[in-house]
């Protein structure tokens, strides 16, 4: 195996063969059993562990990324996600009972967890292991077959994945398609059980339009401009450390990277000073040294980011150095930025952090709400009311207080956007759920028609009355209209169920639930039927 394999693009004819092969495998039930799924998940973990150093070298070639970031943010995180799925897939896939209702308990309503089919995942260059293999873990855990189309912009990592997958995983279950626009276009012409796309909003529109032609379900993770609202009274040293880390990790090429700061104008200089001190602590010898700070993925992205900086009307507080031959842009803070600035025209996706001064938190909230909903929104404050005001009056994929980026690694939290920042949720169980079809199921006994036979024609008033007595709903009292000066509004009525009725209801439900557990509910229904 070479250290950094070159990408050999998949032919369009081979894409058709891959699609047909995996559909045959899915129909044959290759991953029906939990044991088969766990084998593939475990093999995926060993794919990374056995080739740890090769992945580090590939990341260095593609992104110039420090090896600690590669290990912490991608390799160890993905191995950890494999272990979580391996340990929990049996629980995740277990058939669930529907909520108990006396009317339908005898039909045993359940929710079956079933795979969607063959999943296509189109992943980006910026986290080419975690955002490529993470969806693969969830899809395999759910019992799907999987086609990965990794980014051509990270050829060393993508090529390494393509080389290793057939050595560790069943080729009838998982395939990797290498290529650019023609290969992606051919993939999108085919029907899929689910398409998952991570990248830009511009390409997402193309993906969704293509998927609509085959009615393939789609989920997207699109990023956007994630704001940071800074309370001037917060712990500025801690805030600066975490903001700078979130911005500088992977040279700012992170979908949930802090994109701009909103802070009161009279506190702007204090924030700049705190960020400068954090920068100097992080890079005592400067950020340009090898293995100290990442590089921009390619020349086109370098020129795009540099162009945003060149056109800004803001003031560069520190940083600003660039080197095209090395695709290097220094961590840069730009202050005094206005809403119509070049740095606010698109997601920066680089190590430049503009500061937008505002009058107060209300103006910060209005500024955020005037733009697309971001994938993440960060607030730094020790004031609970301040945090609540920002979170309660904005929309974003995530709402994070006093840290950046780390929410993606928290077990039990979903990662997902809203509106233009994406649709659907991923990470660990949420990825399993994303690629799982919830299939409703029940099994009604014949004798139940003695109870619900009134549903059948010919229809009569008596049958309608019978069904209403069985299934009719008694609503709570209507909301009351109240007047406060010239303002009229509706409030909930005080009336409702008395404490005695609630206690009686719960006792009755407890008895029925207990009877259900011991299999008595069917006999009870039959006894009722004999009395009708």
Asked whether the beta carbons of 223 and 416 are under 8 A apart, the reply is no
Report the predicted TM-score, pTM, of the whole model to 2 decimal places.
0.89
* Residues 48 and 81 sit within 8 Å (Cβ to Cβ): no
How far, in Å, CA of 152 to CA of 258, rounded? 26
Q: What are the residues whose beta carbons fall under 8 Å from the beta carbon of 495, sequence distance 6 or more?
A: 476, 477
Distance CA 327, CA 321 (A): 11
315 is catalytic: no
Q: What is the pLDDT along the chain (532 residues), one digit of tens a residue?
A: 343 345 799 999 999 999 999 999 999 999 999 999 999 999 999 999 999 999 999 999 999 999 999 999 999 999 999 999 999 999 999 999 999 988 899 999 999 999 999 999 999 999 999 999 999 999 999 999 999 999 999 999 999 999 999 999 999 999 999 999 999 999 999 999 999 999 999 999 999 999 999 999 999 999 899 999 999 999 999 999 999 999 999 999 999 999 999 999 999 999 999 999 999 999 999 999 988 999 999 999 999 999 999 999 999 999 999 999 999 999 999 999 999 999 999 999 999 999 999 999 999 999 999 999 999 999 999 999 999 999 999 999 999 999 999 999 999 999 999 999 999 999 999 999 999 999 999 999 999 998 889 999 999 999 999 999 888 888 999 998 888 887 788 899 875 555 555 555 555 566 656 655 555 445 554 444 444 4
How far is the CA of 168 from the CAs of 41, 42, 68, 448, in angstroms? 10, 10, 25, 52
The domains of the chain, with CATH numbers, are: 12-222+429-439 (3.40.605.10), 227-416 (3.40.309.10)
Cα–Cα distance between 36 and 170 in angstroms, integer?
A: 10
Q: Is 255 noted as a catalytic residue in this protein? A: yes
d(CA 48, CA 128): 13
Alpha-carbon gap, residue 52 to 34, rounded angstroms: 27
Residues 315 and 340 sit within 8 Å (Cβ to Cβ): no
d(CA 413, CA 416): 10
- Sheet of 194-198: strands edge to edge? 174-176, 145-149, 118-122, 194-198, 218-221, 422-423
Rounded CA separation 249/73 (Å): 9
Start-to-end Cα distance in the chain: 77
Indicate which residue of 145, 234, 248, 255 is catalytic.
255
DSSP 249-267: GGGG--TTSEEEEEEEGGG
Pair of tokens at residue 176: 């990797």
CA distance 8 to 179: 8
Structural contact between residues 378 and 230, judged by C-beta atoms closer than 8 angstroms: no
The DSSP secondary structure of 463-488, one letter per residue, reads HHHHHHHHH---PPPPPEEEEETTEE
Q: CA nearest 133: which of 398, 443, 428?
A: 428
Annotated active-site residue in 221, 248, 347, 408: 221
333: nearest Cα among 353, 356, 350, 348: 353
């Amino acid at each position: 195996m070479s250290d950094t394999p070159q990408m050999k693009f998949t032919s369009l004819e081979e894409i058709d063969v891959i699609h047909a092969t995996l559909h045959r495998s899915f129909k044959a039930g290759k991953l029906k059993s939990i044991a088969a799924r766990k084998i593939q998940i475990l093999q995926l973990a060993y794919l990374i562990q056995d080739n740890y150093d090769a992945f580090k070298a590939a990341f260095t070639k593609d992104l110039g990324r420090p090896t600690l970031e590669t290990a912490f943010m991608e390799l160890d995180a993905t191995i950890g996600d494999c272990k979580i799925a391996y340990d929990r897939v049996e629980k995740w896939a277990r058939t669930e009972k529907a909520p108990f209702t006396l009317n339908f308990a005898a039909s045993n309503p359940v929710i079956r967890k079933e795979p969607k089919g063959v999943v296509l995942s189109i992943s980006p260059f910026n986290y080419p292991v975690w955002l490529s293999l993470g969806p693969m873990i969830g899809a395999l855990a759910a019992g799907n077959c999987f086609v990965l189309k990794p980014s051509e912009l990270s050829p060393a990592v993508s090529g390494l994945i393509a080389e290793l997958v057939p050595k560790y995983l069943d080729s009838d279950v998982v395939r990797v398609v290498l290529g650019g626009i023609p290969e992606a276009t051919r993939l999108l012409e085919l029907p899929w059980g689910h398409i998952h796309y991570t990248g830009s909003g511009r390409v997402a529109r193309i993906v969704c339009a293509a998927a609509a032609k085959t009615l393939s379900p789609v989920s997207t993770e699109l990023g956007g401009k994630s704001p940071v609202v800074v309370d001037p009274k917060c712990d500025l040293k801690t805030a600066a450390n975490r903001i700078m880390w979130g911005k500088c990790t992977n040279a700012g090429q992170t979908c949930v990277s802090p994109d701009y700061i909103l802070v009161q104008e009279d506190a702007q200089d204090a924030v700049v000073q705190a960020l400068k001190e954090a920068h100097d602590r992080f890079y005592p010898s400067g950020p340009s040294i090898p293995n100290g700070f990442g590089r921009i993925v390619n020349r086109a992205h370098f020129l795009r980011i540099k162009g945003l900086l060149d056109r800004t009307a803001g003031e560069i507080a520190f940083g600003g150095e660039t080197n095209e031959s090395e695709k290097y842009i220094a961590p840069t803070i730009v202050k005094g930025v206005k809403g119509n600035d070049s740095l606010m025209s698109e997601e920066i996706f680089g190590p430049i952090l503009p500061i937008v001064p505002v009058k107060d938190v209300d103006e910060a909230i209005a500024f955020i709400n005037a733009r697309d909903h971001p994938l993440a929104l960060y607030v730094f404050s020790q004031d609970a009311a301040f945090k609540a005001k920002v979170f309660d009056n904005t929309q974003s994929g995530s709402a994070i207080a006093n840290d950046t980026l780390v929410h993606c690694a928290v077990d039990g939290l979903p990662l997902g956007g809203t509106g233009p920042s994406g649709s659907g949720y991923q990470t660990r169980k949420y990825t399993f759920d994303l690629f799982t079809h919830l299939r409703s199921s029940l099994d009604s006994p014949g004798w139940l028609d003695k109870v619900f036979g009134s549903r059948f024609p010919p229809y009569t008033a008596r049958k309608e009355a019978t069904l209403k007595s069985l299934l009719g709903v008694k609503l709570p009292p209507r909301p009351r209209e109240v007047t406060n000066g010239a303002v009229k509004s509706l409030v909930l009525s005080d009336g409702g169920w008395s404490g005695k009725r609630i206690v009686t209801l719960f006792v009755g439900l407890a008895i029925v639930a207990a009877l259900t557990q011991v299999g008595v509910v069917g006999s009870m229904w039959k006894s009722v039927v004999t009395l009708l």
